[in-house]
């Protein structure tokens, strides 16, 4: 049988048409009319005034931190339950990530713990992050995990605090098409970032986007992403820049992906609903909840396997191994940053929720090209492992 991948690209005639248009026009090098159009269409789609197309979501995070004024000696609050790129970008600018736990309602950054952390830092107490005083974090990066927005109303309130304005960056890399209280993912912080990696709902094979309502910030991001070249005839630079712009070819693919975004989200949501229905009577398996405050994309359907109830002591790893034996890709949930060797010395606030999700979490195939028969195939293997 055909191998089922976790979240493969899903492309069609729109992407082909636009890509060939870019190719035939000979706009092969970075920048070009498709980049301009992609930025304009994307900004409209996520409800922001400006969008800057970049080479990756990580590049967008890096630039967002620079625009926020984060640098050496600063701290940035980051969810411990995330992909490593979120924390890595903090290290790129010489700052320290403060790793904060999730809450169960959405599996995202716990607003209460964020508020406690910021309040303690304002008071000079450094609560939950080791002895001694620490500076107030310069920014908070909130990740919209697995296609579900975090709870932004209390997060914004925590960042605004007593008026000193901690910058809130929304890492919506996994959440294009999701909403929070009817507002699009990416529009909920001071800046938003997206990824178009090959496994995302909308892909350009590789790429990213930075969105903001601040025109000056967008202009600065464009400058930094093109080696910070000054607008003069010769090559002149007065600050260090980066080679971060998206190519015209990839932007053309992105425009095609954006046209069919709603259908892709609907298919993934149907897949998640099917998994929950097919496995509803299987003991010891639960799924990532959908928080009441928004609509998730279900970029990935993530289940928790409780070995005390699921089959005769079978674990998350047994499920992954059984699926692989049937040529079906599955992976564990994200390993928390506080358990990563590279961040062993980072300050940590909480961690038990993230630990539980990692230890029991399995990501099931969720691609938008999956059929109902594909979902049934996966569910049948999971049921077999459980002894049903």
Q: Is the pTM of this model over 0.75?
A: yes
Give the domain CATH number at 355.
Answer: 3.90.1150.10
Digit-coded pLDDT (tens) for 42-59: 999 999 999 999 999 999
Same domain, 176 and 46: yes
| Percent of the chain whose pLDDT exceeds 70 | 96
Same domain, 82 and 203: yes
Distance CA 260, CA 325 (A): 33
Domain tally for the chain? 2
Digit-coded pLDDT (tens) for 175-211: 999 999 999 999 999 999 999 999 999 999 999 999 9
Boundary-marking domain end, from 208, 243, 259: 259
Digit-coded pLDDT (tens) for 284-333: 999 999 999 999 999 999 999 999 999 888 999 999 999 999 999 999 99
Give the domain CATH number at 124.
Answer: 3.40.640.10
Same domain, 36 and 154: yes
- Position 27 scores a pLDDT of 85
Same domain, 247 and 272: no
**Looking at 78-92, 217-231, 344-358, which range is the least confident one?**
217-231
Sheet holding 208-212, edge to edge: 50-54, 208-212, 191-195, 167-171, 139-143, 75-79, 96-100, 348-349
Boundary-marking domain end, from 213, 239, 259: 259
Same domain, 157 and 231: yes
Same domain, 243 and 340: no
Digit-coded pLDDT (tens) for 32-41: 999 999 999 9
Q: Which domain holds residue 154?
A: 13-259
Boundary-marking domain end, from 259, 282, 297: 259
Q: Are 164 and 122 in contact (CB under 8 A)?
A: yes
Distances (CA, A) of 30 to 20, 89, 242, 248, 319: 16, 23, 13, 5, 43
Using alpha carbons only, give the angle 191, 236, 65 rounded to the nearest 5 degrees. 20
Q: Tell me which residue has tokens 């990580």.
A: 58
- Position 235 scores a pLDDT of 85
């Amino acid at each position: 049988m055909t191998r089922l991948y976790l979240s493969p690209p899903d492309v069609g005639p729109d992407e082909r048409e636009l890509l060939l248009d870019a190719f035939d026009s000979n706009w092969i090098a970075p920048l070009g009319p498709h980049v301009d159009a992609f930025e304009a269409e994307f900004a409209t789609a996520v409800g922001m005034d400006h969008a800057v197309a970049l080479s990756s979501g990580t590049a967008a995070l890096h630039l967002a931190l620079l625009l926020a004024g984060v640098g050496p000696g600063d701290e940035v609050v980051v969810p411990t339950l995330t992909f490593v790129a979120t924390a890595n970008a903090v290290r790129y600018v010489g700052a320290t990530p403060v790793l904060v736990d999730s809450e169960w309602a959405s599996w995202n950054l716990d607003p209460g713990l964020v508020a406690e952390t910021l309040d303690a830092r304002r008071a000079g107490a450094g609560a939950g992050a080791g002895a001694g005083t620490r500076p107030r974090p310069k920014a908070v990066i909130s990740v919209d995990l697995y296609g579900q927005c975090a709870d932004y109303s209390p997060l914004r309130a925590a960042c605004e605090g007593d008026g000193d304005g901690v910058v809130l960056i929304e890492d919506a890399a996994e959440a294009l098409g999701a909403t929070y209280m009817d507002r699009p993912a990416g529009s909920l912080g001071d800046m938003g970032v997206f990824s178009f990696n090959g496994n995302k709902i909308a892909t350009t094979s590789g790429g990213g986007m930075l969105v903001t309502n601040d025109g000056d910030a967008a202009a600065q991001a464009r400058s930094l992403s093109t080696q910070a070249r000054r607008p003069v005839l010769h090559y002149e630079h007065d600050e260090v820049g980066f080679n971060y712009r998206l190519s015209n070819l990839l932007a053309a693919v992105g425009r095609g992906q954006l046209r069919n975004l709603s259908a892709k989200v609907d298919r993934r949501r149907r897949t998640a609903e099917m998994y929950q229905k097919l496995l509803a009577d299987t003991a010891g398996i639960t799924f990532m909840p959908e928080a009441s405050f928004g609509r998730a994309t279900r970029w990935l359907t993530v289940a928790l396997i409780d070995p005390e109830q699921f089959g005769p002591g079978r674990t998350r790893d047994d499920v992954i191994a059984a699926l692989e034996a049937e040529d079906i890709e599955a992976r564990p949930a994200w390993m928390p940053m506080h358990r990563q060797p590279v961040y062993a010395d980072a300050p940590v606030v909480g961690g038990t929720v993230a630990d539980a999700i990692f230890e029991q979490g399995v990501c099931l195939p969720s691609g938008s090209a999956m059929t109902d028969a594909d979902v049934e195939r996966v569910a049948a293997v999971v049921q077999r492992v459980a002894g049903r």
